[in-house]
Amino acid sequence: MLRYNLVTFLYFGVASILSTFYFPFLSQDVGLSLGEVSKAIAFGALFSLVSQPYLSHLFAKSRNKKRFMIVYFGLLAIVNVAMLFVDEQRIYLFAILYGCLALPLIGTYEIYIEKISSARGYMYSKIRKWGSIGLGSVTLVGGSLIALAGFELLHAISLVFLAACAWIVYRKFETVEDSAERPKMNYRKALADKRVLVLFAMSFLGLGSYIGVDFAFSSYLTELTGSVTTSNQIFSVSTGVKVFLEFVTFTLLGLYFNRVDVKKAFVCVFVFSGLRFLFLSTGELPLVVLGDQFHGLAFPLFLVTVFRYLRSLVPDELVPSCYGIVSMLVFGVSNLAYPPLFAAIQNYGGYGAMYTTNFALSVAVIAIGIFGLPPGKRSRFVESSGETASG
């Protein structure tokens, strides 16, 4: 299992550089205003609406999952290099590349590592938790590295990590192959089940708005502190700590989640996200940083629960396609719809009004979950493996 943990650690270090630091990169290095950042993100997300489900389909269709991922690592390396040449005139061209390849980077890898976990009898959370440590470690030192040598150093590190991932996957990963019959790109079955549609709606309204407001957090810290350097340092430390909490949460979920009611766990995702935005809306720096830590509870619980829920609702062969839809809604459609909306709310009523809106959405999603979400059966994976795989 060490090889899976190591690649997950390195890959999410790359995710930190390409995702977590993308928003401060646009505002500080490229020089865009908050409104311009939201427009660039939304423009890139427009292209991810096609690329995210299509990448999920290509993954499901590919007989050799290992080769698919190695090619994808190479495409992410191109994004890294292109990012070094971005300026205000080229930002929308880069946004196309970013939306097609970088926005789906976490969801694409999660489908892969969950597939390996299922095939090898490992708990997905036991591997995925090392992604949290990788993302948190890079984020924790990222602010200092930017102050030392700019964003270029981060992207050089990202290229090294991607090369290491490709080598380890090529040399050390077994090939996980499907049957000779390859699935067609048909989401009709996935969209025919009303129970799954409720899950999709909650994901978009709750986690989509959650992800769709992340573009503003570094700017919010800058307004509260009055200093870009201090803002970057707090941003790095806060993100590092909350991702360490992700690791702890994934560990606990791996130990105790097999008998948890999946519906209650899924609703709890939005309870934690609501508390996060309630604290952020106060405008008090200690409470803002404290509130940001609820991410360490909400996001890992969402990832583990959504896979378990999908495996209980749809056949195994539809899980990658259904998660591709979830990923598209949470990371694609949300980044198209929410940044312009939240930027407008912030411009009209300030950051407090923006985060209060997020809190209200969380409350609405909790109500939808309580009254509209079907009971979750125990996962067939848990029933068959009995949580016996060693960590």
pLDDT above 70 for 376? no
Q: Tell me the CB-side half-sphere exposure of residue 98, using CA atoms within 13 A.
A: 27
State pLDDT tens for residues 127-143.
877 887 787 778 777 76
Q: Which pair of tokens denotes residue 141?
A: 């030192």
- For 384, residues 6+ apart whose C-beta sits below 8 A from its C-beta are none
pLDDT above 90 for 74? yes
- CB-neighbour burial class of residue 364 (10 A; exposed 0-12, middle 13-18, buried 19+): middle
- The pLDDT assigned to 95 comes to 87
Q: Band the pLDDT of 178: cuts 50, 70, 90.
A: low
pLDDT above 90 for 326? no
Find the DSSP H helices in the chain: 2-15, 22-24, 34-61, 65-83, 91-97, 105-120, 124-149, 151-172, 188-192, 194-202, 209-212, 217-225, 228-256, 262-280, 285-292, 295-313, 319-327, 334-372, 380-385
State pLDDT tens for residues 11-33.
988 888 887 777 778 877 787 77
pLDDT above 80 for 7? yes
With H, G, I as helix, E, B as strand and everything else as coil, classify residue 280.
helix
Q: Which pair of tokens denotes residue 164?
A: 């290491």
Q: Using a CB cutoff of 8 Å and minimum separation of 24, what contacts does 82-85 make?
A: 83/18, 83/25, 83/151, 83/155, 84/152, 84/155
Which carries the bigger pLDDT value, residue 69 or residue 184? Answer: 69
Distance between CA atoms of residues 248 and 231, nearest Å: 26
- CB-neighbour burial class of residue 273 (10 A; exposed 0-12, middle 13-18, buried 19+): buried
